[in-house]
Amino acid sequence: MGFFDELGKKISGASQEVVQKGKEMADTAKFNSMIHDEERKISAVYGKIGKKYFEDFQNAPTEGFKDFVDEIHAAQAKIAEIQEKLKALKADVTEKVENVAEKAKDAASSTVEQVVEDAKSVGTEGAAKVEEAAAKVEDAASDAADALSKE
């Protein structure tokens, strides 16, 4: 029985060691996460400090900050340039859309006018045919009346 007792003790000791290592790893991950959170807070504050410094001293930066301020001014100028290009592009697209809409409106109007002209033409042709038919009916009626009066 000594063998199994010894084996049980070894397994128990190993499992406790695994549990302990797992707990240590979890604690390590937790502490690393807490450190990372604090580092992000610091980075955010650095950003706020830089923004505040730029706002306060952009026209007269102290030695060592001029290059950074110049980089920001260059980026702002580039943004303004891109915004102007975007504005021009939007205006161009708007103009093109309006031109296409006007052409479509003109085409629709032209089509409607053509349909009206065609309808008038059909109406005029139809009226002429009706008048012809009426004249033939009138002639036929007159011929029939003459034939009846001769009898």
Cα 116 to Cα 112: distance, rounded to the nearest angstrom: 6
Token code pair at residue 74? 């260059």
Quick count: other Cβ atoms within 10 Å of Cβ 71?
A: 10
Cα 23 to Cα 31: distance, rounded to the nearest angstrom: 12
**Half-sphere exposure at residue 130, Cβ-oriented, CA atoms within 13 angstroms:** 6
Summarised one tens digit per residue, pLDDT across range 14-66 is 678 777 888 889 989 999 999 999 999 999 999 999 999 999 988 998 899 99
Distances (CA, A) of 48 to 35, 55, 100: 20, 10, 49
The SS3 assignment for 110 reads helix
Question: Which residue do the tokens 């032209």 mark?
Answer: 110
Instruction: Say which residues have a Cβ less than 8 Å from residue 57's Cβ, sequence separation at least 6.
Output: 65, 69
Token code pair at residue 105? 């409106």
Indicate whether this model's pTM tops 0.85: no
| Range of weakest confidence among 39-43, 53-57, 84-88, 104-108 | 104-108
